[in-house]
Copies of this chain bind each other. A is one copy, B any other.
Amino acid sequence: MSAKPVPALTQQPLSVINIGLSGFGQTIRDCGGSACDLRWQPPAEGDAEAGWALARLIADERIDAANRTAYGRYLASQPVLTGVGVAGDVIPGMSGRIILHSGPPIAWPDMCGPQQGAILGAVLFEAWASDIGAARRLIESGEVRLEPCHHHAAVGPMAGIISPSMPVWIVSNTAGGNVAYCNMNEGLGRVLRFGANDAEVIDRLRWMAKTLAPTLALIIDELGGLDLKPLMAQALHMGDEVHNRNVAASMLLLRKLSTAGLRSTRLERGALAETLSFIAANDHFFLNLSMAACKAMLDAAQGVPHSTLLTAMARNGVEFGIRLAGSDDWFTAPAPFVDGLFFPGYGPADAARDLGDSAITETAGVGGFAMAASPAIVQFVGGSARDALANTRRMLHVTLGQNGAFTLPALDFTGTPAGIDARRVLDSGIRPVINTGIAHKEAGVGQVGAGITHAPLACFAKAVLAVARNLPEEN
């Protein structure tokens, strides 16, 4: 249509920002004027109840104060690798027949394939049953308690299985007094955490318990502990984001372990050679230590009433759950699928839903939140170096601040976005980004790819509603 003159509302040319329906702006444009429509959507995806709860929480100074306290404890935390122990001996509440798994609570019949397969493998590893059939009957009988790692100050990648005889990393937050645990990384391929449970898998777990763990325990004793935050910070300067890329961190760890191990006269050369070769062959070895460190940092923030700071994002392959510093509840939604790159021979139809406790890294401000540190990771998870920078920058909108302990060279050494505020996620609709591996949906096939996913917004709506419900009216 031909341009009509804009009515002379003012003496100057108008530059209109339209914050209403796009039809309002179109009228200006039809008259030959210039109008830019603001892209906007209602908070909480238009859920009126959650929106009103959010509005109340955003305006409430008590929430901000609680978040400052919780975030401060997270920032002040100093995770130190203090040892290696046997899960049943060191993890609280691990007595009797119990197996820990990743993600929020879930009953055996509802679990995904890889998690079921891994639990059956753990039963064999514990010698509670002599074959898979007997292991399945034992689990179905209910005689083995199945509980989330997160209920025991622990985390585990993928299936996240920790049974009482397994060795675990012990990471102490020396600034806060809390301790966190994680199992040890078995490598890639057919491994328990992807649901494999054949003899090779169980034999490897036995070797890890018998040789790897005692050797590491001696070396860590020789080292007198290992500060993990500086090591992770250095790895971020070397292209890792310490979730899905851990090659530098694994080598920094190996360098410490090998020199201390060779120095110590208590260590037998054969075991040392086996241990260091096992670590050297696995570029993801540090992941489980990164997770334990992140768990230790975030548990430091746990127990601050009314805080909307996230202290966990975790997935069991069926549900995605988040926890807040202000409560021990889980707020869940269906676990998403992962958008990523598949290994040759596999595709989206093979993929399990998002699985594992490893999103504890993003919750702590690394992983996808530190993707700007890791341009090379896009070869593994997809996208471009520009996307990696954009993912980090976008997360600044949903976090309480930036962690100066974890700086990003490519962003001129600013800190990683850290301290996810459930309110900001729900208000902006910007979902926390997660770099993650993709498991085959059937037990035991293994990793079939890696990619990027996002926390479901529904978790945050539930969380905000719960915080609002428990918040007393102001005097």
Give chain A's interface residues, CB within 8 Å of chain B: 237-239, 247-248, 251-252, 254-255, 258-259, 262-263, 269, 272-273, 276-277, 280, 375-376, 378-379, 384-386, 409-413
Task: State whether B409 touches A375 (Cβ < 8 A).
Answer: yes
Q: Which of B239, B259, B412 contacts A237 (CB 8 A)?
A: B239
Contact B269 A273 (CB under 8 A): no
The one of B239, B276, B412 in contact with A385, judged by C-beta atoms closer than 8 angstroms, is: B412
Q: Which residues of B contact A251 (CB under 8 A)?
A: 248, 251-252, 254-255
Nearest B-chain residue to A262, judged by Cβ: B273
B-side contacts of A375, CB under 8 Å: 409-410
Q: Is the CB of B409 within 8 A of A378?
A: yes
Q: Which residues of B contact A412 (CB under 8 A)?
A: 384-386
**Residues in B neighbouring A248, C-beta threshold 8 A:** 238-239, 248, 251
Contact pick for A410, options B252, B379, B385, CB 8 Å: B385
Task: Indicate if the CB atoms of A262 and B277 lie closer than 8 Å.
Answer: yes
Interface pair A255/B280, CB less than 8 Å apart: yes
A252 / chain B contacts, CB cutoff of 8 Å: 251
- Whether the Cβ atoms of A262 and B272 lie closer than 8 Å is yes
Q: Distance (Å) between the CB of A450 and the closest chain B CB?
A: 16
Which of chain B's residues have a CB closer than 8 A to the CB of A272? 262
CB distance from A267 to the nearest CB of B (A): 10
The answer on a CB contact under 8 Å between A263 and B277 is: yes
Q: From A248, A252, A378, A384, name the one whose CB has the most chain B CB atoms within 10 angstroms.
A: A248
- Which residues in B have their C-beta under 8 angstroms from that of A384? 412
Q: How far is the CA of A259 from the CA of B262 in the complex (A)?
A: 12
- Smallest CB gap from A264: residue in B: B273
A259 contact set on B, CB distance < 8 A: 273, 276-277, 280
A238-B238, A251-B251 known; 11 new pairs, CB 8 Å cut-off, are A238-B247, A239-B239, A248-B251, A258-B258, A258-B276, A259-B276, A259-B277, A375-B410, A379-B409, A385-B411, A385-B412
Tell whether, in the assembled complex, residue A376 and residue B409 are in contact, meaning their CB atoms are under 8 Å apart: yes
Residues of B contacting A237 in the complex (Cβ-Cβ under 8 angstroms): 239, 376
Task: Output the least CB separation between A252 and chain B (Å).
Answer: 7
- Nearest residue (CB) in B for A256 is B280
A263 to B278, CA, bound (A): 12
CA distance A385 to B255 in the complex (A): 28
A378: which B residues are within 8 A, CB to CB? Answer: 409
CA distance A277 to B257 in the complex (A): 11
> How far is A410 from B280 in the complex, measured between Cα atoms in Å?
26
Please measure, in the bound complex, the distance between the C-alpha atom of A205 and the C-alpha atom of B277, giving whole angstroms.
30
Instruction: Give every chain B residue within 8 A of A376 (Cβ-Cβ).
Output: 237-238, 409
Q: How far is the CA of A251 from the CA of B255 in the complex (A)?
A: 7
Contacts of A379 in B (CB 8 A): 409, 413
Most buried by B among A248, A376, A384, A411: A376
Which B residues lie within 8 Å of A411 (CB)?
385
Cα A375 to Cα B239 with chains together (Å): 10
- A277 to nearest B CB, angstroms? 5
Q: Determine which residue in A255, A378, A411 has the highest number of CB atoms from chain B within 10 A of its CB, and name it.
A: A255
A258: chain B residues at CB < 8 Å are 254, 258, 276, 280
A301 to B395, CA, bound (A): 48
With contacts A237-B376, A238-B248, A258-B258 known, is A410 near B410, CB below 8 A?
Answer: yes
The 4 closest A-B pairs by CB, nearest first: A375-B409, A262-B273, A237-B376, A376-B409
Task: Determine the distance from Cα of A252 to Cα of B238 in the docked complex, in whole angstroms.
Answer: 12
Chain B nearest CB from A238 CB (Å) reads 5
Cα A93 to Cα B376 with chains together (Å): 44
CA distance in complex: A376, B411 (Å): 10
User: Do A262 and B276 touch (CB < 8 A)?
Assistant: yes
Q: How far is the CB of A35 from chain B (nearest CB, A)?
A: 26
Q: How far is the CB of A218 from chain B (nearest CB, A)?
A: 15
How close is A233's CB to chain B, nearest CB, in angstroms?
Answer: 11
Q: Is the CB of B277 within 8 A of A269?
A: no
B255 touches A262 (CB 8 A): no
Quote the shortest CB–CB distance from A131 to chain B (angstroms).
Answer: 36
Q: How far is the CB of A203 from chain B (nearest CB, A)?
A: 21
> Smallest Cβ distance from A264 to chain B, in angstroms?
10
A-B contacts, 26 of them at CB < 8 A, read: A237-B376, A238-B238, A238-B248, A238-B376, A239-B248, A248-B248, A251-B251, A251-B252, A251-B254, A251-B255, A254-B254, A254-B255, A255-B280, A258-B258, A258-B276, A259-B277, A259-B280, A262-B269, A262-B272, A262-B276, A263-B277, A269-B269, A376-B409, A378-B409, A379-B409, A384-B412
